Amino acid sequence: MERGEYMIPHDFSYFRPATLDEALDMLSEDGMIPIMGSTDVVVKLRARRLKPKGIVDLKAIEELHNFSFSKENGMVIGAAVTMNELIEDHPEVKENYPVFYQAIKKVGAYQTRNRATVAGNIGNSSPAADSVPPLLTYNAKLKLVSKEGEREVELKDFFTGPGKNILKQGEIIHSIIVPYEGPSIGMYYKLSRIKAVDLSTIGVALTVIDPDGKRDIRIALASVAPTPLRVFEAEDFIRGKELTPEVVEEFAKIVQRNTSPITDSRGTKEYRYEMAYVLPKKILRELGLYKEVS
């Protein structure tokens, strides 16, 4: 590259409003896009997959940096809170949402997580988004705001396809609301070609709410369908049943049957399909919830 050439090939304008109202005004114009950590957006700009007229940087808006947790109101994560802030500064995350904590620790690398936000991960709407499957199992909701007003939607209803979602022009994710339904255990199992800085070939979040009481098992997957996928059918099947090898076998088969993986640079559809059956069983075994008959 010659000196003076730019890595990002086209021009756009840049704004950093200090208030949400100003930001929403700017974003209501065609061709304007919001950024937070810009870890996905800059990559897309360089690859010419995004050609905005202008970029509205939301990081200076104070209210988007809020984080709160209480057992009554659950966890509220402002759109500007970075993944490392959730991992390092808010012990409530690890304590009350362990599967979500495990998943965000597997996003990118340490440097990425100092910039990347959960709202950005959701807004980017990749089927491989690691933060999403655990949030689906915890019944997360999103507060969306635009100049026209605000609305609350279920995370499960947010995605419409790879990179696609229900956000309208000028509408942003303001915060992520995660109800607290009791103590939970579980695992986010990510298979990728290398341990760090890779997208998931497949990601499986299995969460058990109230493991010593009603033992509500929930499961959601990344990279096996056009959108992150929660498999309610498998949850309904296993609810209240004793975890015998036969029940777990059927549970894993239902999970697998609900996936529709594709082949790409990270793995084949056959491999993903097989892993969608293997991993749910493996996680239940590693959590000590059942033993295979010897």
Partner 1 sequence: MVIKFTINGDEMEVDVKPNETLLDVLRNKLFVTGPKEGCGNGECGACTVIYNGKPMNSCLILAPEADGAEIFTVEGLTKDGKLHPIQEAFIEENAFQCGFCTPGFLMSAKALLERNPNPSKEEIVEALSGNLCRCTGYDTIIKAVKKAAEKMGARS
Binding site for partner 1 (CB under 8 A): 1, 3-4, 6-14, 16, 35, 37-39, 42-43, 45-46, 55, 57, 59, 84, 108-112, 114-115, 195-197
Q: Which is closer to partner 1, CB of 57 or CB of 250? A: 57
Smallest distance, partner 1 to C-beta of residue 4, A: 6
Closest to partner 1 by CB, 93 vs 225, is 93
Tokens 């690691």 identify what position? 130
Please state, in angstroms and rounded to a whole number, the distance separating the CA atoms of residues 72 and 29.
Answer: 38
Provide, rounded to whole angstroms, the least separation between the CB of residue 188 and partner 1.
Answer: 16
Minimum Å gap between C-beta 3 and partner 1 is 5
Q: How far is the CB of 162 from partner 1 (least distance, A)?
A: 19
Three state DSSP letters for the chain: CCCCCCCCCCCCEEECCCCHHHHHHHHCCCCEEEECCCCCHHHHHHCCCCCCCEEEECCCCHHHHCEEEECCCEEEEECCCEHHHHHHCCHHHHHHCHHHHHHHCCCCCHHHHCCCEHHHHHHHCCCCCCCHHHHHHCCCEEEEEECCEEEEEEHHHCEEECCEECCCCCCEEEEEEECCCCCEEEEEEEECCCCCCCCCCEEEEEEEECCCCCCEEEEEEECCCCCCEECHHHHHHHCCCCCCHHHHHHHHHHHHHCCCCCCECCECHHHHHHHHHHHHHHHHHHCCCCCCCC
Q: Please, what is the minimum distance in Å from the beta carbon of residue 108 to partner 1?
A: 7
Q: Kindly state the smallest distance separating residue 202's Cβ from partner 1, in Å.
A: 20
- The nearer residue to partner 1, 64 or 178, going by C-beta atoms, is 64
Q: Which is nearer to partner 1, 93 or 234 (CB)?
A: 93
Name the residue nearer to partner 1 (CB basis): 196 or 214. 196
Query: Hey, what long-range contacts does 148-156 have (CB within 8 A, 24 or more apart)?
Result: 150/174, 152/177, 155/122, 156/230
Q: Residue 58 or residue 209: which is nearer to partner 1 going by CB?
A: 58
Q: Which is nearer to partner 1, 82 or 139 (CB)?
A: 82
The token duo for 44 is: 């897309």
Least spacing, CB of residue 14 vs partner 1, in Å: 4
